């Protein structure tokens, strides 16, 4: 029987190329420590899929890329499929290099807040450095809304086709995050995805595209985006809010008797449940393939 989301590839590069061609998407979850990492690995096992875990820069700063890479290496002992490790939204070329040295599979250099020329320069430097280690590099064009990103009009955040094409040609990143209307975190209104622009970008460059702000996007929009060239989706907020709120509830109940393994024994399965739910939305043809 075909295992569509556990197909073996010689490298993450090859996986992304194949996913873009076959309209599949790698689900990537932001994790913070060994507990939510464990929850993501267990969820991926249950869904029989490869998965990516990502450290946001504050997590990489706190735990260090070296230690996090070792933690993921350890967790892979329990994984049935691939667990890829990615550095998410780093604005620092040096941090990307440190993650590459530490053994990350993939890094994102986010120069989207910089002028295009500077974005291209930063991306180029990381792409050059990543080459010998065979590490995937994600670049960003346009802005992902939320988290204090201020925009005045659509043109302010929407990735322009010309900019995307220039960045892709000059810096040659492996995968590209594009601002098309999604937002980080929970949003008061459903984010309005500019599918027209997504289509134009997907026609302009062959690179697998990355959809950010996965927590707040309705399933049908996630699936439509995947059919249009999104080959990686980032999901963060739903993981850490479930983690923190459920842990807080139990710590309040336990009071001064709160004991980490007892609390986390109850919280990990709840994080796992939300990850399984998102994996079902992203690997939406999973019923046909298992």
- Binding site feature residues for Zn(2+): 89, 110, 140, 184, 212
Three-state DSSP state, 178: strand
Residue nearest to Zn ion (CB): 212
The interface with Zn ion within residues 126-145 (CB under 5 A) comprises 144
Q: Whole-number minimum distance, CB 61 to Zn ion, in Å?
A: 17
The full DSSP string for 84-153 is EEEEEEE--HHHHHHHHHHT-SEEEE--TTS-HHHHHHHHHHHHHHHHTTT-EEEEEES--BBTTB--SS
Q: Least Å distance between CB 142 and Zn ion?
A: 11
**Known active-site residue 88:** yes
Restricting to residues 31-60, name those near Zn ion by CB under 5 A.
Answer: none
> In degrees rounded to 5, what are phi and psi of residue 214?
-65, -20
With CB under 5 A as the contact rule, which of the stretches 4-12, 67-75, 205-213, 269-277 interacts with Zn ion?
205-213
The DSSP annotation for 5-69 comes to TS---SSHHHHHHHHHHHT--EEEEE--SHHHHHHHHHHHHHHT--EEEEE-HHHHHHH-HHHHH
Please report, in range form, the residues annotated as the binding site: 89, 110, 140, 184-185, 212-215, 234-237
Identify the active-site residue in 33, 36, 61, 88.
Answer: 88
212 interacts with Zn ion by CB under 5 A? yes
Question: Using the rule CB under 5 A, is 232 a contact of Zn ion?
Answer: no
Contacts with Zn ion, residue ranges (CB under 5 A): 144, 212
Q: Return the active site residues.
A: 88
């Amino acid at each position: 029987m075909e295992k569509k989301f556990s197909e073996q590839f010689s490298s993450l590069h090859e996986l992304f190329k194949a996913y873009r061609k076959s309209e599949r998407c790698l689900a990537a979850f932001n994790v913070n420590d060994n507990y939510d990492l464990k929850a993501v690995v267990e969820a991926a096992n249950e869904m029989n899929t490869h998965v990516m875990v990502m450290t946001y820069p504050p997590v990489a700063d706190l735990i260090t890329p070296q230690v996090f890479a070792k933690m993921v290496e350890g967790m892979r002992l329990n994984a049935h499929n691939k667990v890829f490790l990615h550095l998410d939204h780093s604005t620092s070329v040096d941090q990307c290099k440190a993650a590459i040295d530490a053994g990350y599979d993939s890094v994102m250099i986010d120069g989207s807040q910089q002028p295009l020329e500077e974005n291209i320069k930063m991306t180029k430097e990381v792409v050059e450095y990543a080459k010998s280690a065979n590490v995937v590099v994600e670049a960003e064009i346009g802005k992902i809304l939320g988290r204090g990103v201020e925009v005045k009009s659509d043109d302010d955040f929407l990735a322009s086709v010309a900019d995307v094409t220039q960045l892709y040609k000059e810096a040659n990143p492996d995968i590209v995050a594009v601002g098309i209307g999604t937002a980080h975190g929970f949003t008061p209104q459903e984010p309005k995805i500019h599918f027209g622009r997504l289509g134009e970008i997907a026609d302009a460059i062959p690179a697998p595209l990355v959809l950010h702000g996965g927590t707040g996007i309705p399933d049908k929009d996630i699936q439509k985006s995947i059919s249009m060239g999104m080959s990686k989706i980032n999901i963060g907020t739903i993981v850490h809010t479930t983690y923190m709120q459920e842990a807080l509830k139990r710590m309040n109940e336990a009071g001064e008797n709160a004991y980490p393994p007892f609390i986390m024994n109850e919280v990990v399965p709840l994080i796992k449940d939300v990850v399984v739910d998102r994996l079902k939305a992203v690997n939406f043809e999973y019923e046909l393939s298992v």
